[in-house]
Amino acid sequence: MSSLVKKSILLTKLIKHANCGTKRLSSHFTYFPDNEKPVEGDTTRMNMMQAINNAMDLTLKNDPTAVVFGEDVAFGGVFRCALGLQEKYGKDRVFNTPLCEQGIAGFGIGLATAGATAIAEIQFADYIFPAFDQLVNEAAKARYRSGGQYACGGLTVRAPGGAVGHGGLYHSQSPEGLFAHVPGLRVVVPRGPIAAKGLLLSCIREKDPCIFLEPKILYRSATEDVPVEDYTLPLGRAQVLREGDAVTLVAWGTQIHVLLEVAQMAEEKLGVRCEVIDLQSILPWDEETVCNSVKKTGRCLIAHEAPLTSGFGAEIAATVQEECFLHLEAPISRVAGWDSPFPHVFEPFYLPGVPRCYHELQRLLDY
């Protein structure tokens, strides 16, 4: 065999090995399903997309004023959350809108102030920014500026957010911190199917307009036995998913599964138990549950996908510092996305995954 052929074969093997070694996985977490059911009764296996669809189905069935609208929702939407709803309830109640987020929000505000139940879908949370003026200056202020004479509490804006594994800078952002600065809105992020159905039904029935941010990577990767009947979960209340006394770990959405894995590793490798709290509601957020936990553990780690600077973790850290200062055994820690546009090929290095969070946990314990 000639030297040239040998070199060619070797080069082919090297390229194949390099390609295998750099293959990017579609997720950076292990999913931890909920085992506790919020209500008794029959359940059915659903992923998060199906649970959201089920919540909207129940709303359209029981509320004749309810409508679902947004870009491409007539055929189910790009993530299929509205699949089959137009066929079931007709084109007057489930319909497409023009490619105009400001118009979608403005139309929803008009419907809600007129007394209808409006469920608007923004195709990606990254494109909700053109609607920012409508949501911040109109929806959030309607009840206040009218002295309670009218409101648009019948408005729920759904938007897929967060990292998905290949979204890049225009399809991976987490804008919850931006909306958390707006009095009059409620901002909610579910962690899985059971939570998504109960929280979405609560948002739809809430008297204040709600921003419901759905971690898009969980649509199909998160599967649970979801109660068939109608149920709601309280807004503004966090949930303790794992009890412990070493460190309080706080997150929401996809990131809660990262911290559950970190807590599991800490127990196996370090022999310590961490308390894991899913905030669920960003605005308002459950200060009492978080602060009571930190007073018990003396340490707090907050993780979110959004950039570090002015991320919602900063608000939690400030409150914990004020309320729990004399109980703290170490500085409050935040693990978040970097202060840069969301990258594409370097997404695994951008996300606050298990290695980064576990390393920070070790630092807190060693302080």
69: which strand partners?
95, 120
Strand 223-227 with 248-251, pairing: unpaired
Catalytic residue from among 71, 101, 138, 315: 101
Residue 101 is among the residues annotated as catalytic for this protein: yes
Where do we find the tokens 């127990």?
A: 267
Rounded Cα distance, 207 and 151, in Å: 8
Rounded Cα distance, 250 and 33, in Å: 17
The DSSP call for residue 271 is -
Token readout for 175 is 């804008």
Whether the ω angle into residue 348 lies within 30 degrees of 0, i.e. cis, is: no
| Total residues found in the chain within this entry | 367
Q: With CA atoms as reference, report the closest residue to 344 among 144, 165, 205, 121.
A: 165
186 SS3 class: strand
Residue 257 is among the residues annotated as catalytic for this protein: no
Catalytic residue from among 28, 171, 257, 304: 171
- Cβ pair 91, 74 in contact under 8 A: yes
Q: Residue 359: enclosing H or E segment and its boundaries?
A: helix 354-366
Q: Dihedral through CA 190, CA 195, CA 197, CA 200, nearest 10?
A: -50
Q: Dihedral through CA 27, CA 32, CA 38, CA 39, nearest 10?
A: 100
Catalytic positions, please? Answer: 101, 171
